[in-house]
Amino acid sequence: MSQTILNDDSLTFAEKIISIKADGGKKVHNAGEIAVLPGDMAMAQDSTGPLAIKVFREMGVQKVWDPKKIHLVIDHSFPAPDEKVANLHIMIREFVKQQGVRLVEGSISHQHLLENHVVPGMVLFGADSHTCQAGAIGAFATGIGSSEMAAVWASGKLWVRIPESIKINLTGQFKKGVYARDIITHFIGMVGEDGGNYKSLEWKGPGVKNLSIASRACISNNSMECGCKLSIFEVDPVTQDYFKTANRKAMFEIHAGSKAHYKEEYDIDLGTLDPQVWGPGNESKVRSASEFGDDHLDEVFIGSSTNGRYEDLQVVGKILKGHKVRAGTRCIITPASRDVYERAIQDGLVETFLESGAVFTNATCGACVGTHLGVLGENETCLSTSPRNYVGRMGATTAKIYLSSPATAAASALEGHIADPRSYL
Amino acid sequence: MSLPAPSTIIRGRTWVWPDDVNTDIIIPFRFKARTNDPVEMAKYAMYGFDPEFYKKVKPGDLFVAGRNFGGGSSREQAPVAIKYSGVAAVVAESFARIFYRNSFAIGLPALEVPGITKQVKQFDEISINLQDWSVTTKDGKVYHALKVPEFLRGLMREGGLVEYYKKHKSFPWEGLQATASTT
């Protein structure tokens, strides 16, 4: 039956993968239906895990369904910035020991799973909204809360509603200074913060082949900011190459049917995009970097699960090399994983960062979550490559947050205000 | 500590909120990441709009909100903070996906009623019926919320996943056959 579903020309990615996985592939599920979906992997992090552990215990469940499939990741506030956080971290470590589940400390969960665990055709439930990042390699990956995570730990399954899908057709090639982040910022600006709510995004078209796995991960990750349930890049030669070196095999390579039904369709010509900036705050419009004035930036943060990958740090190194961060602007660079951190040290990128006057931190969610390593004070202004510019996200509720690509952020750190990166490339 | 399951008819005064109230407004990360105690979380409910909200809210108050209520993070601490601040239910034009799931999972009634913000003003008395999933405004008009599958309404009435599992030793979706739904 699975083969029939895989070949069905009328189904979207979401319909296919849920149909294959739920009820043993015996039945086709269409958008709008409810199904009970077995998970292949479950992940919780240090700000959702402790509550999930508490709920799991309150339910009175003794043992998790499959310890090898459960990952706990201490990433949001790592290492613990204070005693309260440290105590919640202890709770996670004790649970890990008791249940024999997997633990990682000091890499962002989404990047850690992408580098080491997720494969195409897998179902990943994550107690973190940006879990949808793993859609970049053709996995069903979606965010849930702590109680539902406890239910997944207990039973290995969860109810899902089969989402309607939105197709985005990418064409053309980037101009200089434009990156994956600019695509997704542009898209969110176009559809709005709930433009993808409950939906599955499918990124398709000839422009996709120009996007690396890191770039796709940036887009799938940041798709959460329009509310989506899934954000999918189907397996193609770029994905296949990635998994050849990654030494892991796909469970399924799922391709949406050519006659699949999409609720909405969009076209984006990569060649028409300029570097994009969203802010200040999520109520502002998305504009080109060159449209901003010279308002002083107190902080530039480069990192997070959206844009803290090696590919991002390379571009930042290229821009910062031989220049100095403007006096009065803090530039904080935070790698997304231990692997990115080590490569940046080995390849001399960190030397470039330090020579420019930037701060290079350990791998963590860092300043994105406003709890350590770059918290914003009253009325401060920040340009960040992290996913969110919500009020109070990075610290004081009076602080202003703009979002951009790492290239725009690096150029802006040099100028001390929002700047177009193209003059540095 | 856990709160009793919601009653079938809930009456209360409303707090009216705009579109796109995200989870960082409902409870900022720096507070939710430092406690596992719902009573402590409630002290930071709606902090992004008003750090004193928890002193102003009365037990049994209701939320009426615009589109995309609870957008952003997966933090279950957001509906938990609202529930433990004393708010008995949230009615919104629409909910962000994870917040909506979390509300059912923790037993905070969440009803999606398009157009509701035009019918209700701050501190209006309204009532919510969890049996037929409807809202009655101050002038007696009845507005039906978007349909929700029965297993989720049952989960809500029983007070969320912890209470449900303790009672049934199973989850409400186990054994569920595929059903059409409009949620």
Percent of chain B at pLDDT > 70 equals: 95
Q: What is the ipTM of this complex?
A: 0.97
Q: What is the pLDDT of residue B177?
A: 62
Q: Indicate the average pLDDT of chain B.
A: 94
Cβ A151–B161 below 8 Å, yes or no? Answer: yes
Cβ B35–A27 below 8 Å, yes or no? Answer: no
Cβ B24–A161 below 8 Å, yes or no? Answer: no
Residue B176 with chain A: CB contacts under 8 Å: 34, 36, 159
* A19 occurs within a structural domain: yes
pLDDT band, residue B1 (cuts 50/70/90) = low
HEC readout, chain A:
CHHHHHHCCCCCHHHHHHHHHHHHHCCCCCCCEEEEEECCEEEEECCCHHHHHHHHHHHCCCCCCCHHHEEEEECCCCCCCCHHHHHHHHHHHHHHHHHCCEEEECCCHHHHHHHHCCCCCCEEEEECHHHHHHHHHCCEEEECCHHHHHHHHHHCEEEEECCCEEEEEEECCCCCCCCHHHHHHHHHHHHCCCCCCCCEEEEECHHHHHCCHHHHHHHHHHHHHHCCCEEECCCCHHHHHHHHHHCCCCCCCCCCCCCCCCCEEEEEEHHHCCCEEECCCCCCCEEEHHHCCCCCCCEEEECHHHHCCHHHHHHHHHHHCCCCCCCCCEEEECCCCHHHHHHHHHCCHHHHHHHHCCEECCCCCHHHHCCCCCCECCCCEEEECCCCCCCCCCECCCCEEEECCHHHHHHHHHHCCCCCHHHHC
Q: What is the pLDDT of residue A356?
A: 98
Residues in chain A with pLDDT values less than 50: none
* A256 occurs within a structural domain: no
* A255 occurs within a structural domain: no
Mark whether A149 and A291 lie in a shared domain.
no
Residue B17 with chain A: CB contacts under 8 Å: none
Q: Does B149 touch chain A (CB under 8 A)?
A: yes
Mark whether A209 and A294 lie in a shared domain.
no
pLDDT one-digit tens code per residue, B26-78 = 999 999 999 999 999 999 999 999 999 999 999 999 999 999 999 999 999 99
* A257 occurs within a structural domain: no
Q: Does B129 touch chain A (CB under 8 A)?
A: no
Mark whether A125 and A192 lie in a shared domain.
yes
Interface contacts (A, B; CB < 8 Å): 168
Q: What is the pLDDT of residue A25?
A: 85
pLDDT band, residue B180 (cuts 50/70/90) = very low
Number of domains chain A contains: 2
* A259 occurs within a structural domain: no
Mark whether A318 and A357 lie in a shared domain.
yes
Cβ A59–B30 below 8 Å, yes or no? Answer: no
Q: Give the CATH number, domain containing residue A326.
A: 3.30.499.10
- Parent domain of A303: 278-420
Cβ B47–A392 below 8 Å, yes or no? Answer: yes
Fold for B9-168, please state it: Aconitase; domain 4 (3.20.19)
Mark whether A402 and A288 lie in a shared domain.
yes
Please report the residues numbered 61 through 90 in chain B whose beta carbons come closer than 8 angstroms to any beta carbon of chain A. Answer: 67-68, 71-77, 80
